[in-house]
Amino acid sequence: MSSTYGDKIKISVFGESHGNGIGVVIDGLPAGFEVDFDRVLTQMARRAPGKDKTATPRKEKDLPKVLSGMLGNRLTGAPLCAVIENTNTKSGDYGNLLDCPRPGHSDYTAFVKYNASNDIRGGGHFSGRLTAPIVFAGAVCRQILESKGIKIAAHISSIGNVSDSSFCPTEIDDALIEKLNSSSFALIDETAEKPMRDAVEDARMAQDSIGGTIECCVTGIDAGYGEPMFEGVEGVIAKAVFGVPAIKGIEFGKGFELSTMRGSQSNDPFEYKDGKVVTTTNNCGGILGGITNGMPIIFRAAVKPTPSISQPQRTVNLQTKENAELVIHGRHDPCIVPRAVPVIEAVTAVAIINLM
């Protein structure tokens, strides 16, 4: 089982949802950089469960304990290791999943892959709980990036059929980035919050769940980062984003909409502005030939509905080898999109710092 990412800055995530704890080891961070730990905790709080009706009622403080790599708040250059204790587990809720895998979840594939030895409690290592240490890693990496003028922000682009406004593709204000970075329900247009919450509540009351999309931007990154073909910026970011549970799609710039356009519509014209080459539009999302062009990197990620729902579902019994009906117990998010926003920001930070 490999849960590592990166080559220049390498993260390795460990733990299980209902184990004693979860954590991350980060290799390659620059010695001497001073981390604002309060800002790290702000990002951890945005992802933490148990604070909103759109999320699981499981309450976890998600306070990272640094075991190595930091003296005071200064990076030492040694591997940075942080552990987050699991304090509110109810493993008995998952007893029936040992035999009957949840539709839409990793239970069956993990059962096959790991010879029925995988920890099923709370999803084990496949749980969205494992995104907490990723947010820690991203919170550190983004501070290093910000010292170089590179900023990252994301927002809830949609929940179900309810949509937020989109980022301006060519210029994204720092004040908006700061606002989104501190929000637990990150929106550009705050009037979208109520209908989004209503959509989540409708799903919850129906013992169901609902998905959505997240839009993310990277500003302040110069032209020239990335490599053609297999090490292109899109691929580097996509690999990190697909490490987040429930992500099922990604598109950069106009994405699939480009397939409906002509070249005269999709091409981003160049011009000089204040002595710098820019594009007047940004249909390609700030990337050409796998290399940054100096415009904001913009992408959207599709988040599937939470597979653990309370409605009876059809499955199989792996022991009796018969068809079966499954009723899932436990505490689950009716919509994971709001809590996934800081996670997408975090994996983007880890991806971008590796490009640097």
Going by pLDDT thresholds of 50, 70 and 90, the confidence category of residue 5 is very high
151 annotated ligand binder: no
Contact by Cβ (8 Å): 300, 197 = no
User: 298: part of which helix (H) or strand (E)?
Assistant: strand 297-303
> What is the C-alpha R_g of the chain?
21
Asked whether residue 2 carries a pLDDT value surpassing 90, the answer given is: no
289 annotated ligand binder: yes
Longest dimension (CA), the chain: 71
Half-sphere exposure of 179 (CA within 13 A, CB side): 11
How confident is the model over 276-289, as a mean pLDDT? 98
CA dihedral 105, 122, 335, 114 (to 10 degrees): -20
Structure-block tokens of residue 46? 């945005």
79 annotated ligand binder: no
53 annotated ligand binder: yes
77, amino acid identity: G
Confidence (pTM): 0.93
End-to-end CA distance of the chain: 28
pLDDT tens readout for residues 46-80:
998 766 666 665 556 789 999 999 999 999 999 99
Structure-block tokens of residue 16? 């299980």
Contact by Cβ (8 Å): 53, 41 = no
Sorted by where each begins, the domain ranges of the chain are: 4-355
DSSP secondary structure of 308-346: --SS-EEEEETTTTEEEEE---S---S--HHHHHHHHHH
C-alpha span between 306 and 302 (Å, rounded): 12
273 annotated ligand binder: no
More confident: 267 or 95: 267
3 annotated ligand binder: no
136 annotated ligand binder: no
| Of 80, 5, 83, 4, the residue nearest 35 (C-alpha) | 80
**What CATH superfamily classification does 4-355 receive?**
Chorismate synthase AroC (3.60.150.10)
Asked whether residue 292 carries a pLDDT value surpassing 70, the answer given is: yes
DSSP symbol at 206: T
239 annotated ligand binder: no
pLDDT tens readout for residues 210-234:
999 999 999 999 999 999 999 999 9
285 annotated ligand binder: no
DSSP symbol at 34: B
Asked whether residue 350 carries a pLDDT value surpassing 70, the answer given is: yes
204 annotated ligand binder: no
195 annotated ligand binder: no
| Of 340, 184, 338, the residue nearest 248 (C-alpha) | 340
Asked whether residue 311 carries a pLDDT value surpassing 70, the answer given is: yes
131 annotated ligand binder: no
Separate counts of helices (H) and strands (E) for the chain: 8, 18
Structure-block tokens of residue 299? 């992408």
